[in-house]
Chain A
Amino acid sequence: MKREYICGGFLTLLIVLLVLTNLAVGTVDIPFRDVLNILIGKESGNVGWNFIVWETRFPQTVTALFCGAALAVSGLMLQTTFSNPLAGPSILGINSGASLGVAFVMLVGGGSVATATFSLSGFLSVLLGAFLGATLVLAVILFLSTLIRSNVMLLIAGIMLGYIASSVISLLNFFSTAEGVHSYMVWGMGNFSGVSLEQLPWFVLVTSLGLMLSILLIKPLNAMLLGQNYAENLGVNIQRTRNYLLITTGILTAVVTAFCGPVSFIGLAVPHMARLLLGTSNHNSLLPITLLTGACVTLMCNLICILPGEYGIIPLNAVTPIMGAPVIIYVIINQRRIQYFN
């Protein structure tokens, strides 16, 4: 059987197991049988348990799953677009752009996370802010990519953009209220519990939309592996394709950043994990496998975050670099032996 089907089947199985574990494990001990009963609609005797499973664990698990898929896929699209294996939403400053948008809405708009998370208009304004911030940075990066030929230099330019966004955020923080700053700080550490059950359908809808758009881009993405000149010769409209990629990556990064905070390393490292698993850079199989791997990795991260149990939750951004950075270092050390680098 083909390698991608084996990997796909294995990852799907792993996701199911991880989802169940994420639902079963938490601060409060709930017997697994009761968790299942609650999920299939049978009310258990314990109202607290019902609440915990439905209002906390379920949205958190689903959010982790979609967040990982979204970030991993946007990382893959960026790496192909810039033909740079070290591109990713956090490296290129797209995360920071989205954060700036969120900061603007939260701190200047006078709202806090609390108001933002409980009304649909708050949800939409945070989302819009993140999307505008992310696409702004992406547009600047794309513009710079026409001026800067070297990929390494372009990455550095992206890091600089990230710094500029961060310094504007610092300024906004300086002029903001203590409460606003606090809620922004908490948001900035990243977590998967920011999406409530009421918002969950919206979150899932928007990420699914982005993921579907990315699947429509598989054909031009494959052409772009050959470089711009060859892709143009194959009938790919580079300008238009780049715009589609910009919008799709913008949507995916923005929706995740708006609700989970600026999550680092997933977008950068997961496409490499998927390539190492498959051995190919053909997006027909690479993109679905990246999506599944991303979901697995974030579900694992979420499990690690809730490990301390009653002592609280570990910030997400303390966990993702531990998962991601070793992968990148491995890839860099072995790049001569890894075929997709050559």
Chain B
Amino acid sequence: MEKRVVFEGRNLTTGYKHDKQRVEVHQGLNFTLYAGEMTCLLGCNGAGKSTLLRTLATAQPALSGKLNLFGKDIADYSNRELSKSIGIVLTERTQIGGLTVYELVALGRQPHTGYFGRLRTTDKELVHRAIELVGLREKADSYMAQLSDGERQKAMIAKALVQECPIIILYEPTAFLDVVSRIEMMELLHQIAVNENKAVLLSTHDVEQALSLSDKLWVMTNEKKMRCGTVEDVVLSGCMDHLFEHQTIRFDLNKGGYLSHHKKGKDVVLMATDSILYYWAQNALQRNGFRCCSNDGGYSLPCLEVQSSHVLIWKEENKTVTYHSFEELLSNIGSCV
């Protein structure tokens, strides 16, 4: 199925103008944002994620290049049209503790209501539906001040939903959340993108969740370029290593996350009865500066055989010791860091 193109950027230069100074953050960006998909924007601090999002949300103009919204230049849209096209969710704290969840979400109807902002029956239904969709039905009459950070964020998403915008842009929606709320939030956003056919674009530092739950990735690399594509294509192209410029912290394709790889280290042959034991034994050894391999390749390397979490057999130069916990093992074999 052909997906609808929402945003299209061609040769776009983002940045700021301060008096007569021109600060370019990115040059020649090319990207396409589709409806019905969740897109995660990844990049290190200062890579220009917010600048790009602000440009797309028309909070600041692009310095040059083309930016089309539904095939029409974004500069040709009026404020009111834009407020019906792009909904935003920010991380900034606002003074809304004195509004109930219902009142806050209802503010999202402002672009559609008349001069006094009076809500018609259809508006009210939309508000209730959005509150239900983000899972805040029980809290609809609670004040925002009584909500947790995650619930506040969800209320803001509901506000963006009732705006009835085809595009929702979120600035680091998972920034202040614990790990369970982060996954919940990303699943919610993905569900909104697919079920409501919205183009959901968010910036995040949570690489793990982005890789498992988003459809598309926009990766800002350290060469001031942006690589866009389906998650797996982007990951396998190896560009995740260019996300951060770091000597020893590299992207681990096996685990889909960043790991510290030390150059130095003692090689150890690791054997385990199942993959879970292998994984955690490797975790323990790598942390202590060992490098794991599966056979000794002719060099008589030390060997660790993990039979269960209580039976760890360490062989080194004809000596065989059985340890009964990782703690015991690690305190005896010492660290190579």
- Which A residues contact B (CB, under 8 angstroms)? 83, 216, 218-219, 222-223, 225-227, 229-230, 232-237, 275, 279-282, 284, 339-342
Contacts and interface: CB of A to CB of B under 8 A. Distances in A.
A281 B163 contact: no
Interface stretch (B17-25, B80-88, B242-250): B80-88
B146 interface: yes
A298 B88 CA distance: 43
Contacts of B97: 281, 339-342
A234 B107 contact: yes
13 contacts: A218-B117, A222-B107, A225-B94, A225-B96, A226-B94, A227-B94, A234-B111, A237-B79, A280-B99, A281-B97, A282-B98, A282-B99, A339-B143
A234 B116 contact: no
A235 B79 contact: yes
Given A219-B110, A234-B111, A281 B98 contact: yes
A235 B110 contact: yes
Interface string B86-102: 11101010111111100
Contacts of A237: 79
B172 to A, nearest CB: 14
Contacts of B100: 280
Given A234-B83, A235-B79, A281 B111 contact: no
A227 B103 CA distance: 15
B279 interface: no
Nearest to A229: B90
B283 to A, nearest CB: 41
Given A225-B96, A232-B59, A235-B80, A280 B103 contact: yes
Nearest to A85: B95
Contacts of B144: 339, 342
Minimum-distance CB pairs A-B, first 4: A340-B98, A281-B98, A235-B83, A339-B145
Nearest to A275: B98
A142 B115 CA distance: 25
Nearest to B163: A234
Given A218-B117, A342-B145, A226 B59 contact: no
A339 to B, nearest CB: 4
Interface residues of B, number: 34
A229 B59 contact: yes
Nearest to A84: B95
A227 B163 CA distance: 17
A233 B57 contact: yes
Given A227-B95, A281-B98, A339-B143, 18 more contacts: A222-B110, A223-B110, A225-B99, A227-B94, A232-B59, A232-B79, A233-B83, A234-B110, A234-B111, A235-B110, A235-B111, A236-B110, A279-B143, A340-B95, A341-B97, A342-B97, A342-B144, A342-B145
Contacts of A235: 79-80, 82-84, 110-111
B108 interface: yes
Nearest to A237: B79
Nearest to B116: A219
Contacts of B84: 235
B117 to A, nearest CB: 4
Contact of B115 (A219, A223, A234): A219
A233 B87 contact: yes
A230 B94 contact: yes
Given A234-B111, A339-B143, A340-B97, A227 B117 contact: no
Contacts of A279: 98, 143
Contacts of A281: 95-99
A230 B83 CA distance: 10
Interface of B: 57, 59, 79-80, 82-84, 86-88, 90, 92, 94-100, 103-104, 107-108, 110-111, 113, 115-117, 143-146, 163
Given A235-B80, A235-B111, A225 B88 contact: no
B111 A339 contact: no
Contacts of B82: 235
A223 B99 CA distance: 12
A232 to B, nearest CB: 7
A341 B103 CA distance: 17
Contacts of B111: 234-235
A280 B100 CA distance: 8
Contacts of B113: 219
Given A280-B98, A280-B100, A234 B108 contact: yes
B92 A227 contact: yes
B96 A226 contact: yes
A282 B92 CA distance: 20
B107 A229 contact: no
B107 A226 contact: yes
Contact of B145 (A218, A236, A340): A340
Given A219-B116, A222-B107, A339-B145, A233 B88 contact: yes
Contacts of B163: 234
A259 to B, nearest CB: 31
A147 B107 CA distance: 28
B13 to A, nearest CB: 23
A342 B117 CA distance: 25
A223 B103 CA distance: 11
Contacts of A230: 88, 90, 94
A279 B144 CA distance: 12
Contacts of A339: 97-98, 143-146
A216 B115 contact: yes
A256 B97 CA distance: 32
Nearest to A227: B94
B205 to A, nearest CB: 21
A42 to B, nearest CB: 42
Nearest to B83: A235
B95 A282 contact: no
Given A233-B83, A235-B110, A339-B143, A218 B96 contact: no
A281 B83 CA distance: 23
Contacts of B95: 83, 225, 227, 281, 340-341
